[in-house]
Amino acid sequence: MKHTVIPAEIVKSSYADLAAMGLAQILLWGGSYFLLSVLSAPVMQDTGWSHQMVYSALSLALLISGLVLPAIGRIIDRYDHNYVLQYAGVVMAAGLLLLGLAQHFVVYLLAWTIIGIAMAMGLYDALFASLGRKYGTGTGKVIVQVTLIASLAPSISWYLLSLLLEHFHWRTVCFIYAGMLLLTILPLYRSVFHQPAERREQPVVSLQQNVPQQTAPDGSLFYLLLISFTIGAVAATGIIIHLIDILADKKMAMTAVIRTAAFLGPSQAGVRILDLLLPSRSSLHTAVVAAMAILAGMLLLSTIPQVAVCGVIILGMGNGMRSILRGTLPLEIFGRDNYALIIARLGRLPLIAQALTPFITGWLIQQYSVQVFLYVFCALAFINIILCCIIIKQTNKNGIRV
C-alpha cells in the first residue's frame, strides 16, 4: 500500500530524537574511529604486531568506508525505511566480535573491513543523508545540534574504553562494546527514523525550486565541492593526528603539549554552540570562514609557538565548522533531490584521502621535517580558501542565491 510522504520542511526534531542520534553517534565513533586510541597498546603487546600494522587497519576501514559510501547513499535515497542506519550497530558489532577473536593479522584486517562498512552505514555521511530526507529545510539546524552532541565522542568513548580496559582484557572489551552496540543502536535509530518500509514511488520535491539543471551532481560545481571537501579533510586530518608532534617540535614540555592539545575538542564543540545561537547564514560563506580559520590556526602553530593555544582553538573552530558543512553545504547548493546520493558521492574521495593521509604525512615528516609538513599543509589550506571563493562565484553564476 502506497503512503503519502509528509513534506520534510514541516517535520520538527524533538529533544528525544536529538539525544538518540547523538548517543548513537558517540557509540559508533567510539567503536570505530576512536577505538585504537585506547586499545592499540594492549593489542600490540598481546599480538606482537607493530604500530604500523595495528593502525594500518584503521586506514583500511576508512578506505572501505569511502568505497561503499555511494552504494549506501543510493539505498538511503531509494527507500523510505532507513534500515542502513538502524543496522549499522549490528554490522559494527560483528566486526568487533571478529576483532576480539583475531589471532592472525589477516583476520584482524577482515574485522576492520567489516567495521569500515559499518562506518559508512552509521557515521556522519549516512546520518546527514538521512537527516536531509527527514527534516528538509530544517536539516542544517539538526545537523548542528547532533554534531554538537557527537563532539563529545572522543571524551566519552575514550573514558568508557579506558574504564573497561582497567577491568578486562582488550578482547573482552571488544566483546562488551559489541554487546552495547547490539542493544542500543537499532532501537535508538528506529525511534527516530520510523518511516514505513516501502519503496519510494515519487521523487521528493527539491527545497530549492529555482536551482537550474546546471547544478546537477555531475557538473563542475559538484567537482569543485568534491575537491574542496577532500582538501579540507586531508588538511584537518593531517594536522590533528600530528598535533602532538607539531607542539613537541616547538620545544614545548610534554605537559604543556597535552594541555594545549586539550583545547581542540572544546573549541570544536564551542563553535557549534555559536552556530546555534547566532542568526542563520549562508553555508557557502561559512565555508570560506572555516577554511580561513584552519589556515590561520596552522600559521600560528608553524610561526608563533608562543600562541599555540590560540592556534589550536582557531584550528578546532575551523574544523568544527567544516564537519557541519559536510551536510549543510550540499543541501544549500543542490537542494533535497538525490541529497543522500550526493552526500555519499561527496564523502567517498575525502574518506579515501583520509585513509592515505597518515602515510603521506608520516613520509613528509620523516624525510623532511615537521616544519616542511606544516608549510605543505598551509598551502593546501590556502588552495581550499580559493576553491571556496570559486564555488561562491559559480553558485552565483548558476542563479543560486547565497
For the domain made up of 213-397, give the CATH fold.
Growth Hormone; Chain: A; (1.20.1250)
DSSP for residue 199: B
Res 43: pLDDT: 92
Dihedral sign computed on CA atoms, order 328, 332, 337, 342: negative
Res 315: pLDDT: 87
For the chain, report the end-to-end CA distance as a whole number of angstroms: 40
| Domain spanning 15-192: CATH 1.20.1250.20 | yes
Phi, psi dihedrals of residue 2, rounded to the nearest 5°: -75, 155
For the record, the C-alpha cell of 298 comes out as: 596552522
Res 209: pLDDT: 40
Average pLDDT over residues 27-47: 89
Res 80: pLDDT: 67
CB 208, CB 316: distance < 8 Å: no
Tell me: pLDDT of 373 over 70. Answer: yes
- The string of pLDDT tens digits covering residues 200-249 is 444 443 334 443 443 345 578 888 988 999 998 898 888 877 777 788 78
Best CA proximity match to 127, nearest among 71, 94, 82, 165:
82
Tell me: pLDDT of 158 over 60. Answer: yes
Tell me: pLDDT of 268 over 80. Answer: no
Res 198: pLDDT: 41
CB 69, CB 125: distance < 8 Å: yes
Tell me: pLDDT of 278 over 70. Answer: no
Res 280: pLDDT: 64
Res 5: pLDDT: 41
Residue with cell 574521495: 349
For the record, the C-alpha cell of 190 comes out as: 528506529
Res 395: pLDDT: 82
In terms of residues, how long is the chain? 402
Of 146-150, 218-222, 319-323, the poorest mean pLDDT is in 218-222
Q: Assign residue 168 a region: left if phi > 0, alpha if psi is -120 to 50, beta otherwise?
A: beta
Tell me: pLDDT of 53 over 90. Answer: no
Of 110-124, 151-165, 236-250, 294-308, the poorest mean pLDDT is in 236-250
Q: Which residue has the higher pLDDT, 59 or 195?
A: 59
Tell me: pLDDT of 40 over 80. Answer: yes
DSSP for residue 79: B
Res 70: pLDDT: 84
Question: CB-based contacts of 31: which residues, under 8 Å, 6+ apart?
Answer: 92, 93, 96, 115, 118, 157, 177, 178, 181
CB 85, CB 130: distance < 8 Å: yes
- pLDDT-above-70 percentage for the chain: 87
> How far is 41 from 197, CA to CA, in rounded Å?
44
Residue 7: pLDDT band with limits 50, 70, 90: very low
> How far is 6 from 1, CA to CA, in rounded Å?
16
Res 247: pLDDT: 81
> How far is 297 from 148, CA to CA, in rounded Å?
21
Residue 49 DSSP SS3: coil
Residue 169 DSSP SS3: coil
Phi, psi dihedrals of residue 13, rounded to the nearest 5°: -90, 135
> How far is 58 from 241, CA to CA, in rounded Å?
13
Helix axes 51-78, 339-367, angle to 10 degrees: 160
> How far is 171 from 182, CA to CA, in rounded Å?
17
Res 207: pLDDT: 38
Q: In the chain, list all ranges with CATH 1.20.1250.20.
A: 15-192, 213-397
Q: What is the pTM of this model?
A: 0.76
Q: Which residue has the higher pLDDT, 8 or 86?
A: 86
Average pLDDT over residues 248-263: 75
Tell me: pLDDT of 109 over 90. Answer: yes
- The string of pLDDT tens digits covering residues 58-71 is 889 988 998 888 88
Residue with cell 567537482: 223
